Chain A
């Protein structure tokens, strides 16, 4: 069955430290990959996406993610986090074997401490 695994339910980190939020998926065919962010009491917003081309994709606020086909991973990284990055982050995958729908991971809560 299709699945998206976010390995950490919560990640506490101090401000200005680096962070990695992990995401693995089970599809073996070509995929489209997304990271969404949900700030408290808000809907989801797209953070970044991989459709094709360069395997390293970046967002406007300093996050980046790398598509690793051999490891079926799409981990999210930021070299230095801010308090304002505190939010829940969802990895999502779309592939033909998922019926062309988005399948979401369970989410990772990033808590940035001062």
Chain B
């Protein structure tokens, strides 16, 4: 079974802190994604990556950056956390060159609270 793990289930940070969210998948998937989930808004794509050292902006990249130094690991970085970044963050991965028709496998999520 594909396993996607995220470094923390719950995280509390202060405004202005630099925050790292880590995601690791164990199935050699090419594609990895970071979403944030907010009530009534569903999942919104922050960044995604189709290959090592490659990244593309999603729909809401402002205030975030990412890093993919190894195929299995995709990190989301909040350079200076703000209260409006309090949310549930979900990582996902999928195989295939484009990933279009493949199931996305999700991690359990990290609930981040910024105070």
Contact = CB atoms under 8 A, between A and B. Distances in A.
Interface in B10-30: none
Contacts of B104: 44, 46, 102
Contacts of B45: 101-102
A107 B101 contact: no
Contact of A90 (B42, B98, B109): B42
B42 A105 contact: yes
Given A100-B98, A101-B48, A43 B103 contact: no
Contacts of B92: 44
Interface in A69-114: 90, 94, 96, 100-102, 104-107
Contacts of A28: none
Nearest to A96: B100
Residue of A51, A90, A94, A102 contacting most chain B CB atoms (<10 Å): A102
A54 interface: no
Give the size category of A's interface with B.
20 to 34
A49 B103 contact: yes
Nearest to B9: A41
Nearest to A95: B100
B99 interface: yes
9 contacts: A90-B43, A101-B45, A102-B104, A104-B42, A104-B43, A104-B44, A105-B42, A106-B41, A106-B42
**Smallest CB-CB A-B distances: 5 pairs:** A43-B106, A100-B100, A106-B42, A104-B43, A44-B106
Interface of A: 4, 6, 9, 32, 34, 36, 42-46, 49, 51, 90, 94, 96, 100-102, 104-107
Given A6-B42, A100-B100, A105-B42, 18 more contacts: A4-B42, A9-B40, A32-B100, A34-B103, A42-B109, A43-B90, A43-B109, A44-B90, A44-B92, A44-B106, A45-B106, A46-B103, A46-B104, A94-B100, A100-B98, A101-B45, A104-B44, A106-B41
Interface of B: 4, 33, 35, 40-45, 48, 58, 90, 92, 98-101, 103-104, 106-109
